[in-house]
Amino acid sequence: MDLLEHQGKELFRRHGLAVSEGAVANNVEEAVAAGRQLGYPVVVKAQVLTGGRGKAGGVKLAGNEQELRDHAARILGLEIRGHRVKKLWIERASEIASEYYAAVLLDRSARAPLVMFSSEGGVEIEEVARRHPEKLARRHINYLAGLGEEEAVQIARAGQAAEDVIDGVAKALCSLYEVFCEEDATLAEINPLIVTPEREVRALDAKVTLDDNARFRHPDHEAYANLDLIDPLERRAKEEGVQYVQLDGDIGILGNGAGLVMSTLDVVAQAGGRPANFLDAGGGANAEKIRQATELILSNPAVKAVLFNIFGGITRCDEVAKGLIEAFSALNPTLPFVVRLDGTNAEEGRRLLAEANLPGVHPASGMEEAAKLVVALAGGQEVKG
């Protein structure tokens, strides 16, 4: 579960990490009330479940009430990377002497938490890693021993923090590590972690992902669910009992079983395509579920071509074919579909599809062939057959 900036900052504050005073606002009037209470200048910040808000115009400084009104009204109308802004965070503006970067994340391959710190912050960390690798400290932490002050100081030094704030940075890293462990996060990132002219170290942004598997341990986290902000398609999928994750490409993907869907994403990417979604119809999906799933894929306007990759086990390919045929008669899609059916009742499924002779449906026999075909079709290429 991803948190909004202000929710992440609330957790930071609880664990002793310095953050600025602020308030949530759902409309311009609430923003103005917050401004009056905080005192100017303030920063008006879009609360959306995506980064890069600054570049998209979702973070603005306001020196007085009129500016606050203007910014709040404009930002509330924005769409940032597909996320409509419905909520603002108004925060007392900080003066910035330096922008650093700090993060704790779960490094699954190392099976350990990874602490990262750099004195080059405020830009994307991938860019820091490329341009200033010498200023990026990375250190795995022994989960049982935890992160001690001494080790945190070493990390701050390695990332080249200014000498007079080494202790402040180390303390911030320890607090961030505490957030990561005690709140069961998989990611806790601060970019930028600033140094003020008074040499105070403070988190100006917060990106926190909580581990859903640990939710039962944190009844207080329920309040962070952000149901109103979750992608409406993802929410609908949840209601219908299929696994759906929106991605930003243009090839709609449907498979049965998470493993098969993931490898389908890989094969499509290898063929040069960009998946638009992850959709797992699950084991034993019947025609009705396949029809719903197809509808779900087609309601994403970015989709240019669709790939069905079914390996029938409990799921029967004839049911999948029936679902697809039903979806076609209900929705009359004009997009090309590539359909690979294999496993239980595959013959029967293929026969049903051949008989139905649906417009724009291309059978494929293997996964790679299917991927290449759908990538070509999404790119608008003519395909015979």
Tell me which residue has its CB nearest to ligand GDP.
Answer: 54
Q: How far is the CB of 189 from ligand GDP (least distance, A)?
A: 10
**Beta strand ranges found along 135-238 (DSSP E):** 136-140, 185-195, 201-203, 207-210
Does 96 participate in binding ligand GDP (rule CB under 6 A)? yes
* CB-nearer residue toward ligand GDP: 103 or 279: 103
The Cα–Cα gap between 158 and 314 comes to 54
Element (H, E) at 330: helix 317-331
Does 148 participate in binding ligand GDP (rule CB under 6 A)? no
Q: How far is the CB of 258 from Mn ion (least distance, A)?
A: 31
Query: Is 143 one of the annotated active-site residues of the chain?
Result: no
Which of the following is catalytic: 189, 224, 244, 319? Answer: 189
Three-state DSSP class for residue 346: helix
Token pair of 292 as six digits? 């719903």
Q: Smallest Cα–Cα separation from 305: which of 249, 257, 356?
A: 249
Q: Smallest Cα–Cα separation from 361: which of 335, 331, 326, 343?
A: 335
**Binding partner of residue 283 among Mn ion, ligand GDP, none, CB cut-off 5 to 8 Å per kind:** none
Evaluate whether 98 touches 105 at the Cβ level (below 8 Å).
no
Token pair of 44 as six digits? 């008006």
Helix-, strand-, coil-residue percentages of the chain, each rounded to 5? 40, 25, 35
**Binding partner of residue 90 among ligand GDP, Mn ion, none, CB cut-off 5 to 8 Å per kind:** none
Which residue among 49, 78, 93, 245 contacts ligand GDP (CB under 6 A)?
Answer: 93
The Cα–Cα gap between 35 and 63 comes to 10
**Binding partner of residue 189 among ligand GDP, Mn ion, none, CB cut-off 5 to 8 Å per kind:** none
Evaluate whether 343 touches 312 at the Cβ level (below 8 Å).
yes
Does 8 participate in binding ligand GDP (rule CB under 6 A)? no
* CB-nearer residue toward Mn ion: 190 or 307: 190
Binding region for Mn ion (CB under 5 A): 191, 205
**Binding partner of residue 183 among ligand GDP, Mn ion, none, CB cut-off 5 to 8 Å per kind:** none
> What value does the CA radius of gyration of the chain take, rounded to a whole number of Å?
25
Q: How far is the CB of 320 from Mn ion (least distance, A)?
A: 43
* x-or-dash string of contact with ligand GDP, 53-72, rule CB under 6 A: xx----x-------------
Which of the following is catalytic: 91, 100, 101, 178? Answer: 101
Q: How far is the CB of 54 from ligand GDP (least distance, A)?
A: 3
The Cα–Cα gap between 6 and 247 comes to 25
Single out the segment in contact with ligand GDP by CB under 6 A; choices: 89-97, 180-188, 285-293, 329-337. Answer: 89-97
**Binding partner of residue 204 among Mn ion, ligand GDP, none, CB cut-off 5 to 8 Å per kind:** ligand GDP
Q: Which residues are catalytic?
A: 101, 189
